[in-house]
Amino acid sequence: MRAITIKHPGSAEVLQEIDAPKPIAEKGQLLIKVHTAAINRTDIMRRETTNQQTPYPILGVEVAGEVVENRSDNPAFVPGTRVCGLVNLGGYAEYAVMPADRAILLPDTLDNIAAAGIAEVFLTAYQTLYWLGNLQEGETVLIHAGASGVGTAAIQLAKQLTKATVIVTAGSSEKLAFCQKLGADEQINYKTQDFSTEVARITNGKGVDVILDFIGASYWEKNLASIAIDGRWVLIGMLGGTIVPEIDLATLITKRIQLIGTLLTPRSDQYKAQLTQEFMQVVGPYLADQRVKPIIDRTFTLAQVQEAHEYMEANKNIGKIILTITE
């Protein structure tokens, strides 16, 4: 089967297509014919990681397709059933294996391109807003990178599930306008505005109850200034660096801030299964009737995977970037 791996760790130029054996589903797993796969930041991190052992893995953690073989005890996944979900690598390929308790049954209202944009961003958004951020009805949340895949999912969930006040940051008027269409109440251009000043104005000096932070070090001081007493600050990315030269812990203590670091991909299979099942119970009906929906920026073919990675690294996308693999 066609699949994408790397020649060695490095830039997008190291991506290469190979002929790989079809994976074998083990007990509790589904063999999926992959129609589409999503590009995620975790794929770029994996591509660049230098301490990997050879042979290098097939990249990709998020797919949509149809069941070819069901090795689980769940009778719902008969061959031909359309599913999407997270895989333990192997997603950039014509076939992949997925734990059955992590598979999401697809409603007819979602095509395969949209379906590939659900699992990683919506599960991450749900996990960070509710499991970790404990966002409550009517609270205020600051979502950085509002036009990213997770950002667009988080805006929709915060508005639909908890009627939160949503403040977003993004770097262009086009991205901010899109966030507003999705339901963001306040939009801040981080390139032309000081977001901490704007948050203070919007919240009358109170600050926000929850921050979803993809940026990290470069936003440290402004996030500290922007968060309310008893606020929950969820760190899910480091696009702005990993090292904060000086940290004054006094503000963390006096504001009683909870600073929570997380990544979804390294979590256990059991954790991902529980998250998937709760997400589908709570959000599944919203997806089925399209009150919330994945935002797709554009698609690339499997042969264009290098271009797709470069497109994400240039931060050109609003929403998800999808690889089309099989018909």
23-34 pLDDT, tens digit each: 999 999 999 999
Q: How confident is the model at residue 319 (pLDDT cuts 50, 70, 90)?
A: confident
The predicted structure's pLDDT at residue 248: 87
Q: Helical H runs in the chain?
A: 41-48, 112-115, 119-126, 149-162, 173-182, 195-202, 220-226, 249-254, 269-288, 305-313
Residues 233 and 301 in one domain: no
The predicted structure's pLDDT at residue 315: 87
CATH code at 244?
3.40.50.720
pTM of the model: 0.90
Q: What is the pLDDT of residues 19-72, one digit of tens each?
A: 999 999 999 999 999 999 999 989 999 999 999 989 999 999 999 999 999 999
The predicted structure's pLDDT at residue 131: 98
Q: Report residue 207 as tokens.
A: 């600050």
The predicted structure's pLDDT at residue 265: 82
- For the chain, what percentages of helix, strand and coil (3-state, to nearest 5) are there? 35, 25, 40
CB atoms near residue 174 (< 10 Å) = 11
Residues 154 and 242 in one domain: yes
Write down which residue in 261, 284, 304 finishes a domain.
Answer: 261
Q: Report residue 261 as tokens.
A: 């670091």
Residue with tokens 């339901």: 183
Is the separation of the CB atoms in 265 and 61 below 8 Å? Answer: yes
Q: How confident is the model at residue 327 (pLDDT cuts 50, 70, 90)?
A: confident
Residues 135 and 243 in one domain: yes
Residues 79 and 172 in one domain: no
> 49 is in which domain, residue-wise?
2-118+265-324
Residue with tokens 């009358």: 204
Write down which residue in 214, 241, 261 finishes a domain.
Answer: 261
Residues 250 and 164 in one domain: yes
Return d(Cα 247, Cα 244) in angstroms, integer. Answer: 7
Q: What is the mean pLDDT of residues 203-224?
A: 96
Tell which residue, 271, 285, 290, 300, has the closest CA to residue 17. 300
* pLDDT of 75 higher than 90: yes
Residues 101 and 165 in one domain: no
Q: What is the pLDDT of residues 122-154, one digit of tens each?
A: 999 999 999 999 999 999 999 999 999 899 999
Q: What is the pLDDT of residues 153-195, one digit of tens each?
A: 999 999 999 999 999 999 999 999 999 999 999 999 999 999 9
* pLDDT of 285 higher than 90: yes
Burial of 75 (0-12, 13-18, 19+ CB in 10 A): exposed
Number of domains in the chain: 2
Give Cβ neighbours of residue 130 (< 8 Å, ≥ 6 apart): 157, 161
Write down which residue in 207, 238, 261 finishes a domain.
Answer: 261
Residues 157 and 102 in one domain: no
The predicted structure's pLDDT at residue 130: 98
The predicted structure's pLDDT at residue 266: 87
Give Cβ neighbours of residue 232 (< 8 Å, ≥ 6 apart): 132, 133, 134, 135, 209, 210, 211, 257, 258, 260
CATH code at 111?
3.90.180.10
The predicted structure's pLDDT at residue 246: 87
